[in-house]
Structure 1
Amino acid sequence: MELNTLCAFGKQFVRGISTTACACGKRNFRKFPIYNKRGTKAFKAKQAKNPHPDVPIHTYGVRSIGYKKGSAFMKIDELVPEIIVPDLTGFKLKPYVSYRAIDIVQPPLTPEELFGAVYVKKITEDFKKGKLGPDNQSLEPSAEERLTAEEAREKVSSIRSDIV
Protein backbone atom coordinates (compact mmCIF):
# COMPACT_ATOMS: atom_id res chain seq x y z
CA MET A 1 0.00 0.00 0.00
CA GLU A 2 1.38 3.33 -1.03
CA LEU A 3 0.42 6.62 0.61
CA ASN A 4 0.58 9.98 -1.10
CA THR A 5 0.34 13.08 1.07
CA LEU A 6 -0.90 16.45 -0.25
CA CYS A 7 -1.01 19.64 1.78
CA ALA A 8 -3.34 22.40 0.65
CA PHE A 9 -4.46 25.26 2.87
CA GLY A 10 -3.50 23.49 6.04
CA LYS A 11 -5.38 20.30 5.29
CA GLN A 12 -3.71 17.03 4.64
CA PHE A 13 -5.24 14.55 2.18
CA VAL A 14 -4.22 10.91 2.25
CA ARG A 15 -4.90 8.71 -0.73
CA GLY A 16 -4.57 4.97 -0.48
CA ILE A 17 -4.05 2.65 -3.44
CA SER A 18 -5.25 -0.91 -3.21
CA THR A 19 -4.97 -3.71 -5.78
CA THR A 20 -8.08 -5.54 -4.52
CA ALA A 21 -11.70 -4.45 -4.81
CA CYS A 22 -13.50 -3.37 -1.69
CA ALA A 23 -16.26 -5.90 -0.95
CA CYS A 24 -17.51 -4.22 2.23
CA GLY A 25 -18.65 -7.59 3.59
CA LYS A 26 -20.86 -8.35 0.57
CA ARG A 27 -20.42 -11.36 -1.66
CA ASN A 28 -21.84 -12.14 -5.08
CA PHE A 29 -23.56 -15.44 -4.33
CA ARG A 30 -24.75 -15.82 -7.92
CA LYS A 31 -21.22 -16.97 -8.72
CA PHE A 32 -21.35 -19.60 -5.97
CA PRO A 33 -24.48 -21.73 -6.31
CA ILE A 34 -25.64 -23.10 -2.96
CA TYR A 35 -27.63 -26.22 -3.70
CA ASN A 36 -29.35 -28.58 -1.30
CA LYS A 37 -26.45 -29.88 0.77
CA ARG A 38 -24.36 -26.71 0.83
CA GLY A 39 -24.83 -23.86 3.24
CA THR A 40 -25.39 -23.61 6.99
CA LYS A 41 -28.07 -25.47 8.94
CA ALA A 42 -30.02 -22.23 9.32
CA PHE A 43 -29.92 -21.71 5.54
CA LYS A 44 -31.17 -25.27 4.92
CA ALA A 45 -33.99 -24.84 7.44
CA LYS A 46 -35.01 -21.55 5.81
CA GLN A 47 -34.92 -23.15 2.35
CA ALA A 48 -37.09 -26.05 3.56
CA LYS A 49 -39.79 -23.71 4.90
CA ASN A 50 -39.73 -20.92 2.34
CA PRO A 51 -37.37 -21.53 -0.61
CA HIS A 52 -35.69 -18.51 -2.12
CA PRO A 53 -36.53 -18.16 -5.84
CA ASP A 54 -32.92 -17.35 -6.81
CA VAL A 55 -31.58 -20.50 -5.16
CA PRO A 56 -32.90 -23.49 -7.10
CA ILE A 57 -33.57 -26.81 -5.43
CA HIS A 58 -31.25 -29.19 -7.24
CA THR A 59 -32.87 -32.55 -8.09
CA TYR A 60 -29.69 -34.24 -9.41
CA GLY A 61 -31.53 -35.37 -12.58
CA VAL A 62 -34.41 -37.13 -10.81
CA ARG A 63 -37.82 -36.38 -12.33
CA SER A 64 -40.56 -35.17 -10.06
CA ILE A 65 -43.57 -37.44 -9.42
CA GLY A 66 -45.97 -34.56 -8.84
CA TYR A 67 -46.22 -30.81 -8.37
CA LYS A 68 -46.38 -28.35 -5.52
CA LYS A 69 -49.66 -26.52 -4.94
CA GLY A 70 -49.12 -23.87 -2.28
CA SER A 71 -47.33 -25.64 0.55
CA ALA A 72 -48.77 -29.10 -0.28
CA PHE A 73 -47.21 -31.60 -2.67
CA MET A 74 -49.68 -33.22 -5.08
CA LYS A 75 -48.54 -36.71 -6.19
CA ILE A 76 -49.57 -37.96 -9.65
CA ASP A 77 -49.69 -41.75 -9.83
CA GLU A 78 -49.02 -41.79 -13.59
CA LEU A 79 -45.63 -40.11 -13.05
CA VAL A 80 -44.39 -42.75 -10.60
CA PRO A 81 -41.97 -45.02 -12.51
CA GLU A 82 -43.16 -48.59 -12.84
CA ILE A 83 -40.57 -51.23 -13.55
CA ILE A 84 -41.96 -54.18 -15.51
CA VAL A 85 -39.81 -57.30 -15.22
CA PRO A 86 -40.73 -60.51 -17.03
CA ASP A 87 -41.02 -63.77 -15.09
CA LEU A 88 -37.88 -65.73 -15.94
CA THR A 89 -38.60 -68.94 -14.02
CA GLY A 90 -37.52 -71.90 -16.09
CA PHE A 91 -35.51 -69.69 -18.47
CA LYS A 92 -32.58 -71.74 -19.75
CA LEU A 93 -30.28 -69.10 -21.22
CA LYS A 94 -27.60 -67.51 -19.07
CA PRO A 95 -27.74 -63.73 -18.63
CA TYR A 96 -24.07 -63.22 -19.48
CA VAL A 97 -22.26 -63.43 -22.80
CA SER A 98 -18.50 -63.66 -22.53
CA TYR A 99 -16.33 -61.13 -24.34
CA ARG A 100 -14.27 -64.09 -25.56
CA ALA A 101 -17.20 -65.34 -27.64
CA ILE A 102 -16.35 -65.64 -31.31
CA ASP A 103 -18.06 -63.10 -33.56
CA ILE A 104 -20.19 -64.80 -36.19
CA VAL A 105 -20.33 -62.87 -39.43
CA GLN A 106 -22.87 -64.26 -41.87
CA PRO A 107 -23.86 -62.52 -45.09
CA PRO A 108 -27.58 -62.25 -45.89
CA LEU A 109 -29.17 -65.19 -47.73
CA THR A 110 -29.41 -64.93 -51.50
CA PRO A 111 -32.51 -66.26 -53.31
CA GLU A 112 -30.50 -69.24 -54.61
CA GLU A 113 -29.34 -70.18 -51.09
CA LEU A 114 -32.87 -69.81 -49.72
CA PHE A 115 -34.27 -72.02 -52.53
CA GLY A 116 -31.57 -74.60 -51.83
CA ALA A 117 -32.31 -74.60 -48.09
CA VAL A 118 -36.10 -74.99 -48.50
CA TYR A 119 -36.97 -76.81 -51.74
CA VAL A 120 -33.94 -78.75 -53.10
CA LYS A 121 -34.24 -81.67 -50.68
CA LYS A 122 -37.92 -82.28 -51.58
CA ILE A 123 -37.27 -81.92 -55.32
CA THR A 124 -34.35 -84.39 -55.29
CA GLU A 125 -36.42 -86.93 -53.28
CA ASP A 126 -39.30 -86.60 -55.76
CA PHE A 127 -36.89 -87.03 -58.71
CA LYS A 128 -35.26 -90.16 -57.25
CA LYS A 129 -38.66 -91.74 -56.43
CA GLY A 130 -40.11 -90.81 -59.84
CA LYS A 131 -42.87 -88.63 -58.37
CA LEU A 132 -42.50 -85.81 -60.89
CA GLY A 133 -45.14 -85.15 -63.51
CA PRO A 134 -44.65 -84.50 -67.22
CA ASP A 135 -43.93 -80.78 -66.65
CA ASN A 136 -41.56 -81.57 -63.69
CA GLN A 137 -44.18 -80.65 -61.10
CA SER A 138 -44.47 -82.79 -57.98
CA LEU A 139 -47.31 -85.32 -58.01
CA GLU A 140 -47.52 -85.13 -54.18
CA PRO A 141 -46.84 -81.45 -53.36
CA SER A 142 -46.05 -80.34 -49.81
CA ALA A 143 -48.01 -77.58 -48.04
CA GLU A 144 -45.45 -74.95 -49.11
CA GLU A 145 -45.60 -76.11 -52.74
CA ARG A 146 -49.40 -75.83 -52.81
CA LEU A 147 -49.35 -72.12 -51.86
CA THR A 148 -50.18 -69.57 -54.55
CA ALA A 149 -48.03 -66.47 -54.97
CA GLU A 150 -50.56 -64.28 -53.10
CA GLU A 151 -50.87 -66.76 -50.21
CA ALA A 152 -47.07 -66.94 -49.93
CA ARG A 153 -46.83 -63.12 -49.81
CA GLU A 154 -49.49 -62.98 -47.07
CA LYS A 155 -47.66 -65.65 -45.06
CA VAL A 156 -44.36 -63.79 -45.33
CA SER A 157 -45.95 -60.45 -44.39
CA SER A 158 -47.66 -62.02 -41.35
CA ILE A 159 -44.33 -63.49 -40.23
CA ARG A 160 -42.63 -60.11 -40.66
CA SER A 161 -45.35 -58.30 -38.69
CA ASP A 162 -44.98 -60.87 -35.87
CA ILE A 163 -41.23 -60.21 -35.74
CA VAL A 164 -41.57 -56.43 -35.75
Structure 2
Amino acid sequence: MELNMFSVFGKQLIRGISTSSCACGKRNFKKFPVYNKRGTKEFKARQAKNPHPDVPIHHYGVRPIGYKTRTGFVPVNELIPEIVVPDLTGFKLKPYVSYRVGDIVQPPMTPEELFGAVYVKKITEDFKNGKLGPDNQPLEPSPEESLTPEKAKEKILSIRSDIV
Protein backbone atom coordinates (compact mmCIF):
# COMPACT_ATOMS: atom_id res chain seq x y z
CA MET A 1 0.00 0.00 0.00
CA GLU A 2 1.47 3.35 -1.00
CA LEU A 3 0.56 6.63 0.58
CA ASN A 4 1.36 9.95 -1.02
CA MET A 5 1.99 12.74 1.42
CA PHE A 6 2.85 16.32 0.67
CA SER A 7 5.19 18.34 2.80
CA VAL A 8 6.50 21.86 2.73
CA PHE A 9 9.63 20.80 0.83
CA GLY A 10 7.89 18.80 -1.83
CA LYS A 11 6.33 15.47 -2.47
CA GLN A 12 7.25 12.67 -0.08
CA LEU A 13 6.45 9.02 -0.57
CA ILE A 14 5.79 6.88 2.50
CA ARG A 15 5.26 3.19 2.14
CA GLY A 16 3.50 1.32 4.92
CA ILE A 17 4.42 -2.30 5.64
CA SER A 18 2.12 -4.61 7.56
CA THR A 19 3.93 -7.16 9.76
CA SER A 20 0.85 -8.93 11.08
CA SER A 21 -0.55 -12.08 9.60
CA CYS A 22 -3.67 -11.92 7.50
CA ALA A 23 -5.28 -14.52 9.83
CA CYS A 24 -5.35 -12.13 12.80
CA GLY A 25 -9.03 -11.50 12.30
CA LYS A 26 -11.80 -13.68 13.71
CA ARG A 27 -9.96 -16.97 13.25
CA ASN A 28 -6.88 -16.37 15.41
CA PHE A 29 -8.35 -16.97 18.86
CA LYS A 30 -5.00 -17.07 20.65
CA LYS A 31 -4.09 -13.52 19.72
CA PHE A 32 -7.45 -12.05 20.76
CA PRO A 33 -8.68 -13.94 23.83
CA VAL A 34 -12.44 -13.79 24.31
CA TYR A 35 -13.18 -14.81 27.87
CA ASN A 36 -16.52 -15.69 29.38
CA LYS A 37 -17.96 -12.19 29.77
CA ARG A 38 -16.40 -10.54 26.72
CA GLY A 39 -18.27 -12.41 23.99
CA THR A 40 -21.71 -11.76 22.57
CA LYS A 41 -24.82 -13.65 23.67
CA GLU A 42 -24.60 -15.88 20.61
CA PHE A 43 -20.95 -16.64 21.35
CA LYS A 44 -21.76 -17.53 24.96
CA ALA A 45 -24.62 -19.81 23.89
CA ARG A 46 -22.36 -21.52 21.33
CA GLN A 47 -19.61 -21.98 23.94
CA ALA A 48 -22.09 -23.46 26.43
CA LYS A 49 -23.29 -26.09 23.94
CA ASN A 50 -20.08 -26.90 22.08
CA PRO A 51 -16.99 -25.11 23.45
CA HIS A 52 -14.28 -24.20 20.97
CA PRO A 53 -10.97 -25.89 21.98
CA ASP A 54 -8.86 -22.78 21.28
CA VAL A 55 -10.94 -20.45 23.45
CA PRO A 56 -9.93 -20.77 27.12
CA ILE A 57 -12.64 -20.87 29.76
CA HIS A 58 -11.67 -18.36 32.41
CA HIS A 59 -12.67 -19.38 35.95
CA TYR A 60 -11.58 -16.11 37.65
CA GLY A 61 -9.49 -17.91 40.31
CA VAL A 62 -12.27 -20.23 41.49
CA ARG A 63 -11.26 -23.86 41.90
CA PRO A 64 -13.46 -26.48 40.27
CA ILE A 65 -15.72 -28.61 42.51
CA GLY A 66 -15.73 -31.64 40.21
CA TYR A 67 -14.66 -32.89 36.81
CA LYS A 68 -16.05 -33.00 33.29
CA THR A 69 -17.06 -36.16 31.48
CA ARG A 70 -18.27 -36.66 27.94
CA THR A 71 -21.88 -36.29 29.00
CA GLY A 72 -21.63 -33.56 31.63
CA PHE A 73 -20.15 -32.41 34.92
CA VAL A 74 -19.70 -34.62 38.01
CA PRO A 75 -19.41 -32.76 41.34
CA VAL A 76 -17.14 -34.26 44.02
CA ASN A 77 -18.31 -33.68 47.61
CA GLU A 78 -14.74 -33.52 48.96
CA LEU A 79 -13.95 -30.58 46.66
CA ILE A 80 -16.95 -28.51 47.75
CA PRO A 81 -15.77 -26.03 50.42
CA GLU A 82 -17.57 -26.24 53.76
CA ILE A 83 -17.76 -23.05 55.76
CA VAL A 84 -18.00 -23.62 59.51
CA VAL A 85 -19.46 -20.63 61.35
CA PRO A 86 -19.79 -20.66 65.14
CA ASP A 87 -23.04 -19.69 66.84
CA LEU A 88 -22.54 -16.10 68.01
CA THR A 89 -25.84 -15.54 69.83
CA GLY A 90 -25.19 -13.52 72.96
CA PHE A 91 -21.66 -12.63 71.86
CA LYS A 92 -20.69 -9.29 73.37
CA LEU A 93 -17.80 -8.20 71.14
CA LYS A 94 -18.43 -6.20 68.00
CA PRO A 95 -17.02 -7.39 64.66
CA TYR A 96 -15.09 -4.16 64.02
CA VAL A 97 -11.74 -3.09 65.49
CA SER A 98 -10.78 0.51 64.89
CA TYR A 99 -7.46 1.34 63.25
CA ARG A 100 -6.91 3.96 65.95
CA VAL A 101 -6.40 1.28 68.59
CA GLY A 102 -2.82 1.25 69.83
CA ASP A 103 -0.55 -1.75 69.48
CA ILE A 104 -0.55 -4.15 72.41
CA VAL A 105 2.94 -5.28 73.33
CA GLN A 106 3.05 -8.21 75.72
CA PRO A 107 6.37 -9.82 76.62
CA PRO A 108 6.61 -13.62 76.82
CA MET A 109 5.41 -15.15 80.07
CA THR A 110 8.13 -16.02 82.59
CA PRO A 111 7.96 -19.17 84.76
CA GLU A 112 7.18 -17.04 87.83
CA GLU A 113 4.22 -15.40 86.07
CA LEU A 114 2.97 -18.80 84.87
CA PHE A 115 3.21 -20.19 88.41
CA GLY A 116 1.37 -17.14 89.72
CA ALA A 117 -1.39 -17.48 87.12
CA VAL A 118 -1.96 -21.20 87.71
CA TYR A 119 -1.13 -22.10 91.34
CA VAL A 120 -1.09 -18.98 93.55
CA LYS A 121 -4.89 -18.75 93.90
CA LYS A 122 -5.19 -22.38 95.11
CA ILE A 123 -2.21 -22.05 97.47
CA THR A 124 -3.56 -18.85 99.08
CA GLU A 125 -7.02 -20.40 99.52
CA ASP A 126 -5.47 -23.49 101.14
CA PHE A 127 -3.36 -21.25 103.41
CA LYS A 128 -6.33 -19.12 104.51
CA ASN A 129 -8.50 -22.20 105.16
CA GLY A 130 -5.72 -24.07 107.00
CA LYS A 131 -5.58 -26.91 104.46
CA LEU A 132 -1.77 -27.06 104.27
CA GLY A 133 0.24 -29.83 105.94
CA PRO A 134 3.44 -29.54 107.99
CA ASP A 135 5.66 -29.24 104.89
CA ASN A 136 3.22 -26.79 103.23
CA GLN A 137 1.87 -29.62 101.12
CA PRO A 138 -1.90 -29.47 100.37
CA LEU A 139 -4.06 -31.78 102.48
CA GLU A 140 -6.71 -31.92 99.69
CA PRO A 141 -4.68 -31.74 96.45
CA SER A 142 -6.36 -30.97 93.14
CA PRO A 143 -6.00 -33.54 90.34
CA GLU A 144 -3.19 -31.46 88.79
CA GLU A 145 -1.33 -31.21 92.11
CA SER A 146 -1.51 -34.94 92.74
CA LEU A 147 0.24 -35.84 89.45
CA THR A 148 3.79 -37.13 89.54
CA PRO A 149 6.33 -35.33 87.33
CA GLU A 150 6.34 -38.22 84.84
CA LYS A 151 2.53 -38.26 84.58
CA ALA A 152 2.43 -34.47 84.20
CA LYS A 153 4.99 -34.65 81.37
CA GLU A 154 2.99 -37.39 79.61
CA LYS A 155 -0.20 -35.30 79.94
CA ILE A 156 1.48 -32.20 78.46
CA LEU A 157 2.96 -34.22 75.57
CA SER A 158 -0.42 -35.79 74.80
CA ILE A 159 -2.09 -32.35 74.81
CA ARG A 160 0.60 -30.98 72.47
CA SER A 161 0.22 -33.91 70.05
CA ASP A 162 -3.58 -33.39 70.01
CA ILE A 163 -3.13 -29.70 69.14
CA VAL A 164 -0.62 -30.32 66.36
Task: Report how far residue 68 of structure 1 moved.
Answer: 2.5
Change (3 A) 1:161 1:77: closer
Aligned-pair CA distance for 1:145: 4.9
Gaps of 5+ in 2: 5-13
Distance (whole Å) between structure 1 residues aligned to residue 122 and residue 46 of structure 2: 82
Question: Paired residues, what number?
Answer: 148
Please say if residues 29 and 54 of structure 2, whose CA atoms lie closer than 8 Å, have aligned partners that are also in contact. no
Gapped regions of structure 1 (runs ≥ 5): 4-16
SS in structure 2 at match of 1:44: helix
**Per-residue CA distance 1:45-72 (angstroms, 9 max, x = gap):** 3322221111111121222233222242
Alignment of 1:1-164 (within 5 A): 1=2, 18-21=15-18, 26-27=23-24, 28-117=28-117, 118-119=119-120, 122=123, 133=134, 136-138=135-137, 140=139, 142-143=141-142, 145-157=145-157, 160=160
Query: After superposition, what is the alpha-carbon deviation per residue over 1:104-127, rounded to whole angstroms, capped at 9, x for unaligned?
Result: 32222222343455349837x85x
> C-alpha root-mean-square deviation of aligned residues, in Å?
3.9
Does the C-alpha gap of structure 1 residues 147 and 38 become closer, same or farther in structure 2, counting only changes over 3 Å? closer
Give CA deviations for 1:34-92 in whole Å, capped at 9, x if unaligned: 11222344433332222111111112122223322224233333333332222222223
Q: Percent identity?
A: 61
Kept in 1, the 8 Å contact 2:65–2:76? The answer is yes
Q: Once structures 1 and 2 are overlaid, which stretch shifts more, 58-67 or 93-102?
A: 93-102
Question: TM-score, with normalisation over the residues of structure 2?
Answer: 0.62
TM-score scaled by length of structure 1 = 0.62
Alignment-mate amino acid for residue 34 of structure 1:
V
Give the aligned partner of residue 8 of structure 2: none
Larger Rg: 1
